Structure formats: structure tokens, C-alpha cells
Amino acid sequence: MSIQVQDAVADKAESHRPQPLGRLADGSPLARLRVVVIVPCYNEADNIAHVLRNLGRHCPWADVAVIDDGSRDGTSAAARAAARDPAAPDGRRVFVLRHCANLGIGGAVQTGYRFAAERGYDVAVQFDGDGQHRAAAVRPLVEALLARGVDQVSGSRFINPRGYGQYGIRLAGIKLLALLVSLVTRRRVTDPSSGFRAAGRRAIELFARHYPQDWPETEALLLLRRAGGSFAEMPVAMRSRRRGRTSISFRKGLLMMAKVSLAILIAIFQSPPSADAGKE
């Protein structure tokens, strides 16, 4: 299956080959990389222009793939309009990919990884479409990926806690998952549910073939470990979502805990993912 791009720059998209970040003229090793920021969106029409503006301001050297996961509020139209905005002073390319049905967050992120794999990006950064992640932190995240020599780096809200955190039962749930994942992977994980991550080429290729579905972030770490990959965390600050409501109600939170905890236990007995799955 190849990815159909429906976007403001669709005509450019077919001929577009990602360019290294030569636009970074400061001698950074980043200048050799082709980076795409994957922005999964479900009903984020009120937030996406703001997110794209911030990415344009802080990461003009990165392309952006907005994955509209079957939204009903005109998210792709809002993203296309923001991408066309002549006032957007940056050289990046914005691709808008739309699912015709809602697949859920895992499906949306995996479409982003398939896009990154097919188009040959070196690094893919996951970045939420609700305004929770800081565009200014993308470059340090990619630099950490290079400096640490791992397959994936996630931003953790809990290493140097500042800004928006988690409280009450949701915090307890994340701490429990962090403990379980750290035990199973034998790596210290403090924020397994963070959706702010940078992945290198090996992880991009893995996630293009395999990606967990509901509440996928924790399971993606386990998958990466089972495939022989490595990961690390770095401290980041996050905000609360800009507009709209969280999808994680109390009931869904409990369901998530049960599902992800079981998945962690099952992962202990699973064999490495097949290298052929998903290939045509």
C-alpha cells in the first residue's frame, strides 16, 4: 500500500524529495538530516493553524506531515489554509494526509511513519496537533537523538517537572506504567505515555510496519525494545491542550490502564516483530 497525499502541495508532493537541513547554516550536525514532524490530528481545526505557525517559527528546516484522522470539523481544510498562508515565513513543506475514516491515534501516527519511510526521511518527530508540545523543543529532541545514538528519544514531563503535568489518578496510572515498562525493558522510563518523540531511520522503518493501536505510546517502547532497538528520554515541558477537550475520560483512563498493563505483561512472552510484515 502506498500513501495517498491529499494536500495543499499535492502537486509538489509527488516530485518532492526531502532535502537535508542545509538551511541550518550554523555547522550543526542536524544540517545533514532530513526531518519530518508528524502531527496526528482528530478534530483539531481550532488548534492546527497555531501548531503549524509555531513549527514554522521554530523549525523552518523540518517538513511537516499533518495526519487528519477522519476529523469531522474541517481539520484538513484548516491545515491546508494554514500551509498556504503567504505570511508563514518559512521554507518547510506541509503535507496534509487525510484518513477517510477515524482509525485512532495509533493508525494516525503509523500513517506518519509510513510517509516518513516511503519518502526517505532520516528523523521523524511525533508532535500532537492540540498544542500541548512545544515547537522550540523539537530541535533539542532531535539533537538528543543524534548525541545519544539511540533509535528513539521521548520528551518526559517528569524528569525536571515544570509546566503542565499530570495529577491524581492519571498521574498514578502513568507512574505505574512507567514502573512496569522500566522493569520489562530494563531501562528507566519516566513518561511512557509521552507523545512527543523523535525516531531515527531504523525506528521509522519498524513503526511503518508495526504500530500499536489504542493508547500506543507505551507499547511502542516495548515494540522497539523487542525489535532490538534502543531509546532514551530527555526532560521537556508541556502545556495543557490549547482548545477542545481531552478524549481520556475517567472510564477511558481505567480501560487504558487495564489494556496497556496487560499488553506490557504479554510483551514479556512475545517474539521480535517480523521484518516482513506490511511489505508488499
Ligand X SMILES: Nc1nc2c(ncn2[C@@H]2O[C@H](COP(=O)(O)OP(=O)(O)OP(=O)(O)O)[C@@H](O)[C@H]2O)c(=O)[nH]1
Q: In this structure, are strands 63-69 and 35-41 parallel, antiparallel, or unpaired?
A: parallel
Q: Is 216 in the site for ligand X (CB under 6 A)?
A: no
d(CA 203, CA 232): 13
- How many residues of this chain interact with ligand X, rule: CB under 6 A? 18
Q: Is 241 in the site for ligand X (CB under 6 A)?
A: yes
d(CA 116, CA 173): 32
- Tell me the per-residue interface mask from 176 to 195 with ligand X, x by CB under 6 A, - otherwise: -------------------x
Instruction: Give the contacts of 78 (CB within 8 A, at least 6 positions apart).
Output: 44, 45, 46, 48, 49
- How many residues of this chain interact with Mg ion, rule: CB under 5 A? 4
Q: Which does 108 bind (CB under 5 to 8 A by kind): Mg ion, ligand X, none?
A: ligand X
Identity of the residue, 62 or 109, whose beta carbon is nearer to ligand X in the bound complex: 109
Give the shortest CB-102-to-ligand X separation in angstroms.
5
User: CA distances (Å), 192 to each of 59, 77, 140, 181, 197, in order?
Assistant: 25, 32, 19, 8, 11
Q: Is 126 in the site for Mg ion (CB under 5 A)?
A: no
Q: Is 42 in the site for ligand X (CB under 6 A)?
A: yes
- Tell me the per-residue interface mask from 132 to 171 with ligand X, x by CB under 6 A, - otherwise: x---------------------------------------
Q: Is 247 in the site for ligand X (CB under 6 A)?
A: yes
Identity of the residue, 68 or 122, whose beta carbon is nearer to ligand X in the bound complex: 68
Q: In this structure, are strands 94-99 and 152-156 parallel, antiparallel, or unpaired?
A: unpaired
C-alpha cell belonging to residue 256:
487504558
d(CA 188, CA 182): 5
Give the shortest CB-254-to-Mg ion separation in angstroms.
18
Give the shortest CB-93-to-ligand X separation in angstroms.
20
Q: Is 69 in the site for ligand X (CB under 6 A)?
A: yes
Identity of the residue, 249 or 270, whose beta carbon is nearer to Mg ion in the bound complex: 249
Q: Is 241 in the site for Mg ion (CB under 5 A)?
A: yes
Q: Is 237 in the site for ligand X (CB under 6 A)?
A: no
User: CA distances (Å), 155 to each of 90, 126, 175, 240, 263, in order?
Assistant: 25, 10, 15, 15, 22
Q: Is 19 in the site for ligand X (CB under 6 A)?
A: no
- Give the Cβ contact number of residue 217 at 10 Å: 21
Element of type H or E holding 63: strand 63-69
d(CA 267, CA 269): 5
Q: Is 219 in the site for ligand X (CB under 6 A)?
A: no
Contact 110, 211 (CB under 8 A): yes
* Binding-site ranges for ligand X (CB under 6 A): 40-42, 44, 69, 102, 104-105, 108, 128-130, 132, 195, 241, 246-248
* Binding-site ranges for Mg ion (CB under 5 A): 128, 130, 132, 241
